[in-house]
Chain A
């Protein structure tokens, strides 16, 4: 069982770790304590993934020319007064 707070994981990391937890449990050479710890961790990971999907909002930024040359990132607001999506 990997350490670290589930809440701080990205969706991809959490999902990956969830898949690994299942693979380890499927391999089946774990003690009962290890199995239960993996199960608890996996349950948290699944809940975290699910929550991330529910709560996320698409963030859109736009490349704009920077005064000193090159590009910089600015929040994209869409057309004036119009909800872009």
Chain B
């Protein structure tokens, strides 16, 4: 509030304000005017500059007037392209007071070339705003359940889209249950009804995923899906939401906020459930895998069994007896071989001794011309001269016999 001037009696006490007080007052006035908070302005760009900070400053003007404009760096960065001097544009933003200079400015968050339709501009403005809020961020996107038991569906009960979706769901995955929350999907009432339907489905605890769908239509017919209330309800959904609105080429704000964007209602249904024909193939593969695994296990078992059987055989008492018997046979034959060896050695030694004996025999000496002389009386071998006297009879043995002789002259050699 502006401080009031006080009048008492005839004398008025004029209150004197500071500059910043009046500027703040005007600022509050402008801030309180809703018409100035959400505004489209059309004009020609002049004095366009981008400061080193990244903030953009320019003037918008028509034939008679002009207004200072500011676009903060964060907004300027989101622009596909920035306008140039002299370009005709439509800009969105709000009017506020720049207190430091006592001027009011247009704070721009979006600039489009002039000539685009109003709906398009509103779409771009909302899109830019929600994107800046982070509502489209990839990290907000939730995965869909693999085998949803209950699917919530928001669409018009009269539309072909509903029939298409139910057809796809019953073809692909009839195990699912569907809870339809009917809503008008075009017209004035549509956003509020869609928001209510989403809330009602979110209140159903068994709902695991929601499809928000509408068939193709003009930009105006799809407009409910560009409504901020709908966008926020989609973002607030407790369960993941798939948006399938219009045709392939239609993008709505709800598409950007949804966890998954499907190009059409039919595609949305196909994204939400698996296909039972593919599942049957998977199940058959699992069955084969089970069979293969258990067969491998059985083969292992067989192999182990035969190892065990062999081991058992090796250690059986009968096998032990056979083993001992063989050992005895081995020992016996080794002993026999050893005895035989000894005999052989003895035999060889005997032969060599006989030969030695033969070479030492006195007969051989006699043959070489020696003779053995024995005393004729006592038969003693005469080795020394003094064993005999002259006239003693002796027997002389030569190699082939004996003859008698008488001892004659004696002489000791004194050796």
- Residues of chain A touching chain B, judged by Cβ–Cβ distance below 8 Å, are 10-12, 15, 18-19, 21-22, 25-26, 28, 30, 32, 35-36, 38-39, 42-43, 46, 49-50, 52-53, 56-63, 71, 73, 76, 78-79, 84-85
Contact = CB atoms under 8 A, between A and B. Distances in A.
Contact of A35 (B163, B166, B175, B297): B297
Given A36-B294, A63-B180, A63-B181, A85 B167 contact: yes
Closest 8 CB pairs of A and B: A85-B166, A58-B170, A39-B294, A56-B174, A25-B293, A12-B147, A58-B174, A35-B297
B200 interface: yes
A3 to B, nearest CB: 19
Contacts of A19: 286
B290 A61 contact: no
B278 to A, nearest CB: 10
B279 A53 contact: yes
B178 to A, nearest CB: 4
Of A10, A58, A84, most buried by chain B (CB within 10 Å of CB) is A58
Interface of B: 146-147, 149, 157-158, 162-163, 166-167, 169-170, 173-182, 197, 200-201, 203-204, 276, 279-280, 283-284, 286-287, 289-291, 293-294, 297-298, 301
Of B197, B204, B276, B283, most buried by chain A (CB within 10 Å of CB) is B283
A60 B286 contact: no
Nearest to B169: A58
Contact of A39 (B170, B178, B179, B290): B290
A5 to B, nearest CB: 18
A18 B146 CA distance: 15
Contacts of B284: 46, 50
B298 A32 contact: yes
A76 B152 CA distance: 13
